[in-house]
Structure 1
Amino acid sequence: MNTMNWIAIYPEVVLLVLACAILVIDLFVTHPMRTLTYVLTLATLAVVAAMQMAYFMGYYVGGETVRAMQGMFVNDPLGNLLKFFATLSVFVTLVYARLYASQRDMLRGGELFTLSLFSLLGVLVMISGSNFLVIYLGLELMSLSLYALVALRRDDLVATEAAMKYFVLGALASGFLLYGLSMMYGATGSLDINEVFRAIASGEINQQVLVFGVVFVVAGLAFKLGAAPFHMWVPDVYQGAPTAATLLIAGAPKLAAFAITIRLLVEGMLSLAVDWQQMLMVLSVASLVVGNLAAIAQTNLKRMLAYSTIAQMGFMLLGLTSGVVNGNTLSAANSYSSALFYVVTYVVTTLGSFGLIMLLSRQGFEAEEISDLKGLNQRSPWYAAVMAIFMFSLAGIPPTVGFYAKLAVLQALVSTNVGLYIWLAVFAVLLSLVGAFYYLRVVKVMYFDEAEDRSPIVASTEARAVLSANGLAVLVLGILPGGLMALCAQAIVRAFSI
């Protein structure tokens, strides 16, 4: 335990060193598109992603759980898989965002690229944190970078307002989480997640203090996930932020929030599962109701996708509610792997949805109203088809990956053979039918409404290629989901030895 074990943190070290190097190199870049900074950033992300996949496959540490930095940092299969997808998410986002950002005067400096790298570093630290303070430091590094990215268009009043709302409510969420963690520390006498688990399992601690601490921890996590009733910031920030920043918020940070939920609740407080699973049930039901019903009334596409995110997070939380049933953990691997699969596939789909919004936007025009997609099939049948795939996936319609993700969560609930979980599954299906309406409305607008704007769609070659690959990935993973599902199950089982 008392070792630094540097090999476990090589990807984070490489990312930090190269991010600092890019920050200095960018001072000498004069090209308006920041070509050198952009290329170096993508190369950095590619290297880090390759290292993370190598760790997951077992080339460095045998694919097992390794602790580093005096036990405060954990390198395990679950963390490496999530970190790989988080890095991939930032890579894809920056490919989509470059032209969009240059047209909105967001590339006067290299802040978009360097802040994205530092936010990713925060995400990686959160995912691998095995100590309350390390998780919190990662959270703040990620959050502060994202606050600045939302406010990157300094002359845009809407973006500035969104940044303020995000900052104030983000600070409130961090306060909730920190207060809950401080109560857990007060009750158990340790900041280390494994020590906390052992202390709680001993049964010699005041249960009232523990449950009170869990309430604040779950509330803080719900804020970060954007689950109702802690969802107030999501629609305003998604709509007000530049779409590039919106996608940076909607992608990798969701994986980080899922990771710390697993670290804190499953790794640290599994003995209190009876208490926090009930809280997650309430959050998931509220999120499904608020997200799906509020999304119906939206005319702004980004705001609709924000409420959609709330509903999607509610569905994902359902997967975490059935890990411990009647005091046993027989369904834990199935439950947690279905939630992991859900959040990964949600991020992959969301990348494409917001990526297409950025591609359709141009100088002086934001393609963020649903009406802006009218007749897209007449302008570009391929883009319309790709967007339809993303909408079908979010709605959970086969053969897209969103269908299999929802099916996996429902199967985890129903397989418990407990009446409450079966009713939760039925409720989730009914609200998914409601949600299908607003997704299919977007498809209807693209294919059956007359195009009002027939201007050509301008996009870089790499953005078109990545968008096409993104759409095909959602389709192929829906037709052949077994590989990714097996990776998720493998990550959960190897990380927790379930």
Structure 2
Amino acid sequence: METMQHVFDSAELWHLLPELVLAAGAFALLLFDLFFDSKQKGITHWLSMALLLVVAVLVFTGAGGQPAHLGPPPVLNGMFIRDGVADLAKGFICLVSALGFIYALPYLKERGIYKGEVPVLMLFATLGMMVLVSSANLIMVYVGLEMLALSSYALVAVNRDSPVATEAGMKYFVLGALASGLLLYGMSLVYGATGTLDLEAVLEASISTQDYLMLMTGAAFMVAGVAFKLGAAPFHMWLPDVYQGAPTPVAQFIGAAPKLAAFVMAYRLLSALAPYSEIWGTMVAALAGLSLIVGNLMALRQSNLKRLLAYSTVSHIGFLLMGVAVGNAQGDAASMFYAVTYALTSLASFGFIILMSRKGFEADEIADYRGLGKRNPWMAFLVLCVVASLAGLPPFIGFFAKVAVITAAVNEGLLWLAIVGIVCAVIGMFYYLRILKAMYLEAPEEGVTALANPRDCALMRTSFAVNALLLLGVVVVMNPLIDWCYELFFIP
């Protein structure tokens, strides 16, 4: 019996290989950083980035997985799942997070706020996201979520000498704790109604439960908690202050990959309540519509790019939730595609702010980009690619992502939500076009020369250029990604 137990445990460890490599690497780098002086701190940073790329390769190559026809392997007594959805999400989470490392080091070092703990915190946040997307148990969901949240709180307030960053970190912590409380309370009600914490068992028990009211109340609290983590209206109040107050690379980090992780969390939790999809689907549809309206209307008033991107995020979460509200495989696949493309677009949108900023000049106002089209046509073109993808203009990848979720909504009969999405997409073009107008049609202010050339960092410039050009929606990238997402959710 002991031998069998040993073999069983070894097999489970194999399925956890990507997470174990990342966790071991993070702890090792935390220890090694103690032996580096201030001039060698960058070593920890680049090793952390390399570690994420290694983990991404492990995930994408299926290391630790098993053949698809055998189904997802049971891990940790069914608390952890290693399926195609998890692998796709984890692979892109690691890839996007690793690319974010390229922007972080020069920015933070230039301002004297870089610390060896920063890359380690980013690694633990990424580990939390990986645990989150593979959770098949309510306890595991909470563990992954808190690992991500606690690391993010510390990252937002990493600039301890900045009152704005400290305030943003405190707001994020307080409101994040409230959201975690809502989610945890909802989970406790679901447990009370079904008698189990395993999501698969919750699905089976929800069909015959007698505590219908308790179950639906728990579902409502869980939806509210997920909406906060995503940044959906009316639970978006933390987003603008955090994006504006946090160092731009930190805002870039929490604005990209965590949204993908939060979507998969929503998919896991709501799939466990599939028999009541009409009820929670109505709640999610209402959140989607409200997010689309609030996000776009509030973004119209913004002149600060980081606040504009925050409200833009709210509107994009509206599109993401539109697919979730559909409540079928087509909607889930469309939302997965949207989440992946938005993570890449968000990475680039903060990337050009970092690339154009200098110490004492953040380049986070729309007015800062006046005349960029004449002074640096190549950089202006790359920014145009990013902005056009955010706006959903063809042939950029953001357009195809919006079409996917709107089509899913129409096919399921959510015509009103699709119309709201189309109207709000048109409204969104106005504030995105303000950026393009400033670049190509307005003259720069006198004395503003910092934007004549981007930051002198070849790796950062190359990374941003590749990221921006990928958003052109090239068939070689887009079609395989769409097919991959739809195959995961068993779309013929």
Please give the TM-score of this superposition, normalised by the length of structure 1: 0.93
Give the aligned residue type for 1:446.
M
What residue is the counterpart of 2:382 in the other structure?
Answer: 386
Residues 126-141 of structure 1 aligned to structure 2 (within 5 Å): 126-141=132-147
Task: Determine if the alignment matches structure 1 residue 209 to structure 2 residue 214.
Answer: yes
Preserved CA contact (<8 Å) 2:470 2:477: no
Preserved CA contact (<8 Å) 1:221 1:261: yes
Instruction: Give CA-to-partner distance per residue, 1:337-396, whole Å, 9 cap, x none.
Output: 001101110110010010110111111221111111111223322221111111111111
The structure 1 segments of at least 4 consecutive aligned residues displaced by more than 3 Å after TM superposition are: 476-480
Give the aligned residue type for 2:437.
K
Preserved CA contact (<8 Å) 1:399 1:479: no
Give the aligned residue type for 2:123.
L
Give the aligned residue type for 2:216.
V
Structure 1 gaps, min length 5: 324-331
Shift of 1:481: 2.5
Instruction: Give CA-to-partner distance per residue, 1:146-192, whole Å, 9 cap, x none.
Output: 10000100100000000000000000000000000000001111111
What residue is the counterpart of 2:87 in the other structure?
Answer: 80
Q: Distance in 2 between matches of 1:472 and 1:411?
A: 26
What residue is the counterpart of 2:431 in the other structure?
Answer: 438
What residue is the counterpart of 2:470 in the other structure?
Answer: 473
Give the aligned residue type for 2:359.
Q
Q: Distance in 2 between matches of 1:372 and 1:102?
A: 23
Q: 1:411 pairs with 390, 407, 410, which one? A: 407
Preserved CA contact (<8 Å) 2:14 2:64: no
Q: Distance in 2 between matches of 1:35 and 1:236?
A: 29
Preserved CA contact (<8 Å) 2:129 2:148: yes
Shift of 1:7: 1.5
Q: 1:308 pairs with 309, 312, 328, which one? A: 312
What residue is the counterpart of 2:125 in the other structure?
Answer: 119
Task: Determine if the alignment matches structure 1 residue 257 to structure 2 residue 262.
Answer: yes
Q: 2:291 pairs with 287, 301, 309, which one? A: 287
Q: 2:486 pairs with 483, 486, 489, which one? A: 489
Preserved CA contact (<8 Å) 2:193 2:211: yes
Residues 105-184 of structure 1 aligned to structure 2 (within 5 Å): 105-107=112-114, 109-184=115-190
Shift of 1:33: 6.4
Preserved CA contact (<8 Å) 1:291 1:309: yes
What residue is the counterpart of 2:332 in the other structure?
Answer: 336
Assess, with a 3 A threshold, how the Cα gap between structure 1 residues 398 and 114 changes in structure 2: closer, same or farther: same
Q: Distance in 2 between matches of 1:116 and 1:148?
A: 10
SS at 1:32's partner residue?
helix
Structure 2 gaps, min length 5: none
Q: Distance in 2 between matches of 1:166 and 1:24?
A: 28
Q: Distance in 1 between matches of 2:119 and 2:113?
A: 10
Q: Distance in 1 between matches of 2:64 and 2:294?
A: 45
Give the aligned residue type for 2:186.
G
Task: Determine if the alignment matches structure 1 residue 373 to structure 2 residue 380.
Answer: no
Please give the TM-score of this superposition, normalised by the length of structure 2: 0.94
What residue is the counterpart of 2:101 in the other structure?
Answer: 94
Q: Distance in 2 between matches of 1:194 and 1:333?
A: 17
What residue is the counterpart of 1:329 in the other structure?
Answer: none
Preserved CA contact (<8 Å) 1:199 1:205: no
If asked which structure has higher relative contact order (CA below 8 Å, sep 6+), I would say 1
Q: 2:395 pairs with 393, 399, 417, which one? A: 399
Shift of 1:39: 2.1
Give the aligned residue type for 1:16.
A
Q: 1:197 pairs with 200, 203, 206, which one? A: 203
Q: Distance in 1 between matches of 2:46 and 2:270?
A: 39
Task: Determine if the alignment matches structure 1 residue 186 to structure 2 residue 186.
Answer: no
